[in-house]
Amino acid sequence: MKPMTSKEVTKKVFNKEPFFILDVRNESDFNDWKIEGENFEYLNIPYFDLLDGVEEILDKVPTDKEVLVVCAKEGSSVMVAEMLEEAGREVSYLQGGMKAWSEHLEPVKVGDLKDGGAMYQFVRIGKGCLSYAVVSNGEAALIDATRMTDVYLDFAKELGVEIKHVFDTHLHADHISGGRKIAEATGAAYWLPPKDADEVVFNYQSLEDGNEVTIGETKIAINALYSPGHTIGSTSFVVDEKYLLSGDILFIDSIGRPDLAGKAEDWVADLRESLYTRYKQLSDELLVLPAHFMIIDELNEDGSVSEKLGTLFAKNHGLNIEDEAEFRKLVTENLPPQPNAYQEIRETNMGKITPDDEKQREMEIGPNRCAVR
């Protein structure tokens, strides 16, 4: 019996490996949120049903592929893995449980910039969050960084670059931003759309349409699309005339939900205007890099999440609804449950409350729910 790290499991997701997961959490937790992989098989048996032994499930646990036992925090999976090992099975358990899975970030290089710099995407595989580093000539900018700030600081240190600017495309409601903390640690400027910042209690740089920020020799053009990804301040960036960072306005397989501030009906027209008019004016060749992905099928072969804007206009259902009434219905009635603790997360990102690390973990547990279904 050995521990398997979230990084090792992520590689199996990226490589589409056959893999068997025995998840010993409660059925409702498993159905709400699990480790997803294209060639993964699952068995969900709550830990309490296995206290008397694992004999009854042995015929359901394969011997011809790797088996991983998963629970919320690790402890229960260790015990079940030990019982399986005593029964003669070779299994692993997920180190740190689903808590660790929720927090793992995997950096993937998306592509090069004209000046020799590079664009990197950090895939938060267990939560569906995507964040970015623009690296150019010894400098870096971060976009939509999560609260696992050490990952970004270590990444910059490893590349030998200085973080100069940190951006949030909008005031996040599904995860806690690490932007302000990184800015404080590095002396970088922290940028936030002012329309999302009415209630924030800290200083920030105002992220507005027409701003242009230079990192090394790379230009980041700010397109403040006042529309609901979740918010009225949602902002897009065009980097190096090549990449479109769409925040939570546009995803690969869907579009942003406009209800997390209780303003769905008010903001539908703004959302349509941004997607159907302003985005239409941009080059079809821009590579769209969203702030979230919804399903594992959206991952490319290398594990990154991206698609050309022209392809999305051809294939993304949310961009192809001619009838305005039908569009309004889609984005106001077709919504998944709201993210766990989203009001507390918004207040944390405003600086109004400062939960401890353990509380922050609890607030974020569960799937990402940023898109219209």
Q: The domain spanning residue 89 has which CATH number?
A: 3.40.250.10
What per-residue confidence (pLDDT) applies to 152? 98
71 is catalytic: yes
| Same-domain check for residues 311 and 245 | yes
Domain contains 301? yes
136 in the same domain as 83: no
Residue 54: HSE in the Cβ half-sphere, 13 Å Cα cutoff: 24
Query: Has residue 370 been placed in a domain?
Result: no
Helix, strand, coil share (%) of the chain residues, nearest 5? 35, 25, 40
Q: Which is nearest to 272 in space by CA: 315, 336, 328?
A: 328
pLDDT of residue 4: 98
251 and 236 in contact (C-beta within 8 Å)?
A: no
Same domain, 96 and 126: no
pLDDT for res 337: 73
Contact 9, 29 (CB under 8 A): no
On whether both 116 and 62 belong to a single domain, the answer is no
For the CA atoms of 50, 54, 59, 60, the dihedral, rounded to the nearest 10 degrees, stands at 40
Q: If you ran DSSP here, which 8-state letter would residue 241 be given?
A: T
Whether 122 and 54 map to the same domain: the answer is no
Point out the residues of the chain with pLDDT beneath 50.
none
Catalytic residue among 21, 24, 71, 91: 71
255 within some domain: yes
Domain of 12 in residue numbering reads as 2-100
| Whole-number pLDDT of residue 230 | 59
Which pLDDT belongs to residue 165?
Answer: 97
Maximum CA extent, the chain: 65
The pLDDT of residue 342 is 85
| Cα(202)–Cα(204) distance, integer angstroms | 7
Residue 228 is predicted with a pLDDT of: 61
User: Can you give the pLDDT at residue 213?
Assistant: 95
Helix (H, G, I), strand (E, B) or coil at 47: helix
- Looking at the fold, whether 31 and 165 belong to one and the same domain comes out as no
Cα separation, 163 vs 175, whole angstroms: 22
CB 268 within 8 A of CB 258: yes
Judged by DSSP in three states, 323 sits in coil
